[in-house]
Amino acid sequence: MTTLSNWLAQSDSRETSPEILAAIFAVAENHNEETLNAIWDDPEHYGVLVTIFEIVTQNGLNDPTDFFWGASGSSWADSRNATQSNGAAQ
């Protein structure tokens, strides 16, 4: 079981904003390292990207480009926007 403070301590090494890591921790069904890493690696697979986006941006009050997610950098929310666009088009 990983604690929130231990998970947030990985922010620099993951090049990820602590707000994003906190949101991942919040949506994880359990807080073991394997689950947290899996969500960090592929949030869309777990169906939590939109929820993470809503938590981090406080439902759109904060600009998503103010936050960074690993190699995606500040464009992490682009896939969330594409997901919403695709859903609206169907």
Which among 70, 77, 85 is positioned nearest to 50, based on CA atoms? 77
- Whole-prediction pTM: 0.84
Which pLDDT belongs to residue 89? 39
For the chain, the domains span 4-89
pLDDT at 65 over 60: yes
Identify any residues that bridge with 69 across adjacent strands, giving them in sequence order: 16
- Asked if pLDDT for residue 36 goes beyond 60, the answer is yes
State the SS3 of 37-68.
HHHHHCCCCCCCHHHHHHHHHCCCCCCHHHCC
